[in-house]
Chains A and B, each alone.
Chain A
């Protein structure tokens, strides 16, 4: 019996799950590698098993889709076609060029990959997973632009509030303001309210009229429009005040958050003087959109377009043997991730078994993909942070949270030392040199430096103990001596 080709899927969110199920169903052995204890990623984040939640669907949308994926995965694991590795934190994917490989031979894999992982409660112990191909479904994370007081305890990301709610059944406090911009704010506000938090307001900087300018693109996805309407209705039901064309100008508190000041924006995105008002709250859930995780892809040499991994119609990157799907190829939500994951899984299964795939077999997913990509491209023009956000950042406002680099230090590097790009600002101020390696402050530094945000090169997707690094890949190299 010949061995099935082995595909490593990294990330067990909607894209990774859809890819795993699609690939396992078509002749490929899949190892699904994920850093969480349970599958689901962010969108389908499940409460920890020990919480014994009998009605987790109360916290979720599209529960039945999740159930189908979860059950499919379980069937393939049971059948031995898939393995699900939990609490596995990938820090590097190594591409090993096949020794003795000759010119392109489409009948089988030529390169192989080693996925370098950290496991254990402190993510200290090394594990290496070898595969014939990898599929990157590494998801996204929240973008937050700084404002005075944003580092106070009690201020957290909108997605973070949702993650704590879904994963730990915990809420941060009693009274919350949800703020920023983006479609994520609606379910977060509703979710917190349903869980008993008093949500004082949803503060959205976008202009509702901007939706009207994009009606055609938006109406092309009636499902998404209905979803939005549902969120809006829930907002009303929870009596959450919706303040559009407003922004948080400052968060107040001593050791923790006590209140925020919000203000109205004019049509140019500038604060309208005299419209400031104070909202008492102990929690501020804030977000300004999402950014893709692209570290593993970039280190593998995959081409990026803007901030996202470039893929073709089969979800292949330009590195042979590497597929990518979901937020990592461009922010577009769970449904798009499902479509992309499915196509990626089908393509990988075909290519790895030496078959040229017929795209008609995933025509539905492809149509969904096209439509949703257009929808989210339209949304991107609607949901914008306020044009004046850099003005709100004072010289004392911490911009790089990890290294505590202020707006003033960054401005000094730009004006006084001639820094004009994110990397040079980093070298001259340390902004982006801390634990998070610039993930959180990158957009802000780019904005303050007046330049484009370009992807950072991060060979280590996670901090890795030097003792682990000292042995990483060595055993395999020895084998090939």
Chain B
């Protein structure tokens, strides 16, 4: 059986979407989604650049083991986007380098 989307497949009926910001710009988030999932849904696949090479990174292992998906949420750097649940008004920021404003 194929569905249009995973939400259809699981017959999910989450509450109303809310707004969070990514680098100051508004994006919509479905309740219950992690930062990574919300960013994917918004078409964003990378939210950090590496310390030495400045290369873009997003999710890799998806389960909190690889620490590739680090992002700044509400001024706290180095949060694993694949683990952190979003709440209304959360501010997500792309991070570079060590995440501590090098």
Number of interface residues of B (CB under 8 A): 52
A59 touches B33 (CB 8 A): no
Measured between beta carbons, the chain B residues less than 8 angstroms from A162 are: 62
Closest to B62 in A: A160
B62 touches A51 (CB 8 A): no
B62 touches A194 (CB 8 A): no
- Compute how far the CA of A153 lies from the CA of B60 in the bound complex, rounded to whole angstroms: 8
Question: Is B24 in the interface zone, CB < 8 Å from A?
Answer: no
Question: Is B34 in the interface zone, CB < 8 Å from A?
Answer: yes
A122 touches B70 (CB 8 A): no
Using known A-B contacts A164-B59, A164-B62, A195-B9, determine if residue A48 contacts B4 with beta carbons closer than 8 Å: no
Measured between beta carbons, the chain B residues less than 8 angstroms from A151 are: 55, 57
Question: Is A54 in the interface zone, CB < 8 Å from B?
Answer: yes
- Compute how far the CA of A168 lies from the CA of B65 in the bound complex, rounded to whole angstroms: 17
B56 touches A404 (CB 8 A): no
Give the most central of B3, B34, B66: most A CB within 10 Å.
B66
Distance in angstroms from B96 CB to nearest chain A CB is 13
- Compute how far the CA of A436 lies from the CA of B78 in the bound complex, rounded to whole angstroms: 12
A172 touches B66 (CB 8 A): no
Give the most central of A51, A121, A159, A163: most B CB within 10 Å.
A51
Closest to A234 in B: B1
A153 touches B10 (CB 8 A): no
- The one of B55, B82, B83 in contact with A404, judged by C-beta atoms closer than 8 angstroms, is B55
Using known A-B contacts A153-B45, A163-B82, A195-B9, determine if residue A404 contacts B62 with beta carbons closer than 8 Å: no
A196 touches B53 (CB 8 A): no
Give the most central of A37, A121, A403: most B CB within 10 Å.
A121
Using known A-B contacts A50-B32, A160-B60, A436-B67, determine if residue A196 contacts B2 with beta carbons closer than 8 Å: yes
A401 touches B32 (CB 8 A): no
Measured between beta carbons, the chain A residues less than 8 angstroms from B34 are: 48, 167-168
A404 touches B10 (CB 8 A): no
- Compute how far the CA of A209 lies from the CA of B66 in the bound complex, rounded to whole angstroms: 34
Q: Which of B56-80 contact A (CB under 8 A)?
A: 56-68, 70, 76, 78-79
A50 touches B67 (CB 8 A): no
Measured between beta carbons, the chain A residues less than 8 angstroms from B62 are: 156-157, 159-164
A59 touches B10 (CB 8 A): yes
Distance in angstroms from A343 CB to nearest chain B CB is 26
- Residue contacts A-B, CB under 8 angstroms, 8 given: A35-B64, A51-B14, A58-B1, A121-B84, A156-B60, A160-B59, A168-B32, A436-B65
Give me the interface of A with B, judged by CB distance under 8 Å: 35, 37, 42, 47-56, 58-59, 121-122, 141-142, 151, 153-157, 159-165, 167-173, 193-196, 238, 255-256, 398, 401-404, 434-436, 439-440
